[in-house]
Structure 1
Amino acid sequence: MSPPGHPLRVAYVLLREPSYSETFITSEIDAVRSAGADVEVFVASDGDRLAELRQVVRTALGHPLRTLADVRALGMSYLPRAVLAAAHAARLAGPIAAFGPDVVHTHFVNLPTAIATLVGRRSGIPVTAMAHAADFLLDRNGGALDRRLRLLSHLFVISKAAAGQLTERGVSLSAIPHGVVRAAFDGEMVEPQPRPPDGVTRLVTVARLVEKKGVDTALDAVARLIQIGVSVRYDVYGDGPLRATLEERTRALRLTDVVTFHGSVSHRAATAGLVGADAAVLPCRRAADGDLDGIPVFLMEAASRGVPVVTTMVSGIPELIGPFGGWQVPPDDPDALADAVHQLIHSPGEGQRRAHRLAARLRDEFSPALQARRLLAEWSRLARGGAWT
């Protein structure tokens, strides 16, 4: 623990190094450091499955009673993940204790939270976690999820929608202290670059090609726009398991001259693809397996560049867009999506106004500095409150 008057010490427990799609974690860490906290990051896994297995065996055989206590804390229904969490916690507990944090924090309420809570139980340190979307929406064990979250000193959610989704999953949020902290966006705010009108409406999507992104709906909407005489170009950046299916749909709709699948590209190339775009299109939906976006980073990237967005009213997206920050339509409705794009084409001034409002909301509500202040306020309260219980 840090002495009175010294910077708050925060131990971040991450399952692995943040990926390309998890830049909000590094943005948050940088902002927390900039706000004056002393931060150390502890990564549980380097991806070596054999090394993980050895750690599990060493922990279970070397400390069977402690491992059993960890498993009981997380719930017997959480096996074998509880045993894996116990192994990771056993390895991290010493280095984290040596750092002497006031609070342990993690992102995602599946395995990372299980690890963090066990570290907290060993050291008597408050533990907090951030819930996003897929980390709990794809968790079929609602009882173990609720049990795991009850071990936290405080739960952060990225949206009010996420809180509702957790309740739907059987989590008793009334018994768990919680509050909203956004997934921070620290990208550069770029002045939109007007391009000479050429009569072609350029639509852009940057997304992993999976069901929840709704790219098939966007393709159908593009086909409808062409049917009514709109000249369209649609660029899709990203790859995924549905790419072949989506390319086949493009051929079936006779859109091969209109739609370009650029595949997996760098972040720089993907964001460059937004330059000169007329609209950022992302018709998100709930997938058949329950997966759902939280607040897509792509929409934030578009907002930061002044590109109007056309998306859907699902999950936390309305909390980003607000009532007048873009066009929002029901999911799985290509006619409504095409109509929204058509409105944007014929009302470029309105598109600019909505893009301006969205950029302002991104600066005001999703800045890393604001999220850091929200986190530090709660962490400071927990640190003053004494030991974790």
Structure 2
Amino acid sequence: MQRRKIVVVLKGYPRLSETFIAQELLGLERAGFDLILVALRRPTDAKRHPVHDEIKAPVHYLPEYLHDEPLRVLRSLFAYLPRPSFWRALGSLAADMLRDFTRNRARRFGQALVLAAEWPEDAGWLHAHFVHTPASVTRYASQLRSLPWSCSAHAKDIWTSADWDLAGKLSSARWTVTCTKTGFDRLKKLATGNSSVHLSYHGLDLHRFGSFGDARKQHDGSEPAGAVVVLSVGRAVEKKGYDTLLEALALLPGDLAWRFEHIGDGEELERLKAMAQKLGLDDRVAWKGALAQEQVLEHYRCADIFALACRITANGDRDGLPNVLVEAASQRLACVSTDVSGVPELISPDETGLLVPTNSPIALAQALERLIRDPVLRARLGDAAERHVRGNFDHMASIGQLTELFEREWRAVD
């Protein structure tokens, strides 16, 4: 069967924090799909992961702000004004604006106009990553081009979008996939009519994250020369709960030998550095900044514990199933995290890791102390976590599901 060319709409590309998207794109290419990547904004990360260099798809950038490229927007508008599809799509925009009268909503329609007017030759399908702004652009573009579209929903996009917006997109898309059971349950509840929602864990490229065969250190925090290394990887943003993690570290007994390493950047990084200093943790904390994937892998293999204090923010934002937890578990690293969103779908308490309530420095400190003092427990949990990941989170299973979904639709129209 001949493969169809797919336009994939992304919020930004490439992004260090979205390796799960990059590995999916590479997997689809290797499965034989012809992809065109369209991003709503240009990259802001100074580094790239190796997977980005392996993806062959060309990348096109839409105007991030319409006033930055007015001629490009006007050319697209004049090209579509005479077409009946423009007025149908404009009707959708008008209906959306009645409920969400914002400049952002109008901007998404303008970006969709540019995408439609500059359409890649022979492309016959649109796919959006994230069900908030990228899906808005994709939906309008599908109406302008009279082409089908589909969507991958993840975390923040599901939980910070209004019910009416999600329901409208679910009914418009041919199908939607999401990567956690909690996200699936929310979308399924809003799906009506012919809406098709599927659960598909995006998983991990297990060849890139091969088994770590070396024996881990048996330090128990009793000797300063053998400090136990606690690692966390993630953007310094509110939903990651790094303030809670720092408070938990400050509660650990003073005679316990440990070090904390953080990998990532983010808007709260300077505040967190100041907080660590205020808590008296400066000499035990190392801020590594953003690192490429192969460097992150090396840190997983050198650490003793992985910690992530995920939380739900006031506006509903939250992680789905953080890919860094899956990566850490694949390297036999004992993990402690919170019982938020999709995390319990990976970590079973006292079986594949430790779970604590969200926003509880005391509970997190107790779990960390338990792991620091007990290298045998760390080894047991790490071994079980790796088996769970390698048995249930191979990203090729997700690629197979996506391939079947695309081909099922195409068979129906052939």
TM-score, scaled to structure 2: 0.81
1:28 alignment partner in structure 2: 24
2:7 alignment partner in structure 1: 11
Point out the more displaced range, 23-32 or 310-319: 23-32
1:104 alignment partner in structure 2: 126
- 1:78-227 residue pairs with structure 2 within 5 A? 78-79=100-101, 80-93=103-116, 96=119, 98-101=121-124, 103-139=125-161, 141-166=162-187, 172-175=190-193, 176-186=195-205, 187-191=208-212, 193=214, 194-195=216-217, 197=219, 198-227=225-254
2:47 alignment partner in structure 1: none
TM-aligned CA distance change 1:108 to 1:329, over 3 Å: same
Point out the more displaced range, 322-331 or 237-246: 237-246
- Aligned counterparts of 1:364 and 1:174: Cα–Cα separation in 2: 34
Per the alignment, in what secondary structure is the counterpart of residue 287 of structure 1?
A: coil
Point out the more displaced range, 85-94 or 179-188: 85-94
Which amino acid is the alignment partner of residue 235 of structure 2?
A: R
Aligned residues: 377
- Deviation for aligned residue 1:123: 4.2
- Aligned counterparts of 1:53 and 1:108: Cα–Cα separation in 2: 26
Which amino acid is the alignment partner of residue 372 of structure 2?
A: I
TM-aligned CA distance change 1:54 to 1:132, over 3 Å: farther
Per the alignment, in what secondary structure is the counterpart of residue 272 of structure 1?
A: helix
For 1:185-207, what per-residue CA distance to the aligned partner results, in whole angstroms no more than 9, with x for missing partners? 22322415424645422101122
Point out the more displaced range, 123-132 or 10-19: 10-19
For 1:27-80, what per-residue CA distance to the aligned partner results, in whole angstroms no more than 9, with x for missing partners? 112212222333333445356534544444444455446544213224233454
Q: Is 2:268 aligned against 1:242? A: yes
- Deviation for aligned residue 1:258: 1.7
TM-aligned CA distance change 1:57 to 1:8, over 3 Å: closer
Q: Over aligned residues, Cα RMSD in angstroms?
A: 2.7
- 1:181-330 residue pairs with structure 2 within 5 A? 181-186=200-205, 187-191=208-212, 193=214, 194-195=216-217, 197=219, 198-227=225-254, 229-322=255-348, 324-330=351-357
- Deviation for aligned residue 1:131: 0.7
- Deviation for aligned residue 1:146: 2.4
For 1:228-258, what per-residue CA distance to the aligned partner results, in whole angstroms no more than 9, with x for missing partners? x322211122232323332332233222222
TM-aligned CA distance change 1:85 to 1:241, over 3 Å: closer
- Aligned counterparts of 2:2 and 2:291: Cα–Cα separation in 1: 44
- Deviation for aligned residue 1:165: 4.3
Point out the more displaced range, 339-348 or 293-302: 339-348
2:404 to 366, 377, 382: 377
Which amino acid is the alignment partner of residue 109 of structure 2?
A: A
- Aligned counterparts of 1:143 and 1:270: Cα–Cα separation in 2: 39
TM-aligned CA distance change 1:30 to 1:267, over 3 Å: closer
TM-aligned CA distance change 1:237 to 1:30, over 3 Å: closer
Gaps of 5+ in 2: 41-60, 220-224
- Aligned counterparts of 1:14 and 1:342: Cα–Cα separation in 2: 41
TM-aligned CA distance change 1:182 to 1:151, over 3 Å: same
- Aligned counterparts of 2:64 and 2:243: Cα–Cα separation in 1: 36
TM-aligned CA distance change 1:300 to 1:361, over 3 Å: same
In the alignment, is the contact (CA less than 8 A) between 1:59 and 1:86 conserved in 2? no
TM-aligned CA distance change 1:120 to 1:309, over 3 Å: same
Percent same amino acid at aligned positions? 27
For 1:77-115, what per-residue CA distance to the aligned partner results, in whole angstroms no more than 9, with x for missing partners? 3454444333333333366563243x4222011222122
- Deviation for aligned residue 1:326: 0.9
- Deviation for aligned residue 1:122: 4.0
Q: Is 2:88 aligned against 1:69? A: yes
For 1:98-147, what per-residue CA distance to the aligned partner results, in whole angstroms no more than 9, with x for missing partners? 3243x4222011222122223333444331101111223333x4423322
In the alignment, is the contact (CA less than 8 A) between 2:155 and 2:183 conserved in 1? yes
TM-aligned CA distance change 1:314 to 1:112, over 3 Å: same
- Aligned counterparts of 1:278 and 1:106: Cα–Cα separation in 2: 37
In the alignment, is the contact (CA less than 8 A) between 2:309 and 2:338 conserved in 1? yes
Q: Is 2:386 aligned against 1:367? A: no
Which amino acid is the alignment partner of residue 370 of structure 2?
A: Q
Which amino acid is the alignment partner of residue 89 of structure 1?
A: A
Per the alignment, in what secondary structure is the counterpart of residue 291 of structure 1?
A: coil
Per the alignment, in what secondary structure is the counterpart of residue 150 of structure 1?
A: helix
Q: Is 2:386 aligned against 1:344? A: no
TM-aligned CA distance change 1:184 to 1:93, over 3 Å: farther
- Aligned counterparts of 1:39 and 1:54: Cα–Cα separation in 2: 27
TM-aligned CA distance change 1:263 to 1:123, over 3 Å: closer
For 1:324-359, what per-residue CA distance to the aligned partner results, in whole angstroms no more than 9, with x for missing partners? 221111111122112222222344233223222222
Which amino acid is the alignment partner of residue 168 of structure 2?
A: R
Gaps of 5+ in 1: none
2:46 alignment partner in structure 1: none
- Aligned counterparts of 1:105 and 1:234: Cα–Cα separation in 2: 40
In the alignment, is the contact (CA less than 8 A) between 2:9 and 2:38 conserved in 1? yes
- Aligned counterparts of 2:140 and 2:268: Cα–Cα separation in 1: 38
TM-score, scaled to structure 1: 0.86
- Aligned counterparts of 2:19 and 2:71: Cα–Cα separation in 1: 31
Which amino acid is the alignment partner of residue 85 of structure 1?
A: R
Which amino acid is the alignment partner of residue 190 of structure 2?
A: S
